[in-house]
Amino acid sequence: MQENVGSFDKVIRIIAGIVLIDLGILKLLPYGTVIAIFGAFILLTGIMVFCMLYVPLGISTRK
């Protein structure tokens, strides 16, 4: 598993993941559970510095 998420991308993913999880848990948006799960996915990709969706697309934000 090769790292393919850069530093800036990592920070944005972690912040966005936390915000989406909070919004999902607090049910401030429709489909809160789905939003929280999506937020968890985004947060994990930021923490692991690897996005499985980038692989088939050949994308890497890591320099």
Average pLDDT for consecutive 10-residue bins of the chain (63 residues)?
94 98 89 95 97 95 90
Q: What is the pTM of this model?
A: 0.88
- Residue 56 has what pLDDT? 95
Question: Domain spans of the chain?
Answer: 7-57
CB 50 within 8 A of CB 5: yes
- Residue 29 has what pLDDT? 77
3: left (phi over 0), alpha (psi -120 to 50) or beta: beta
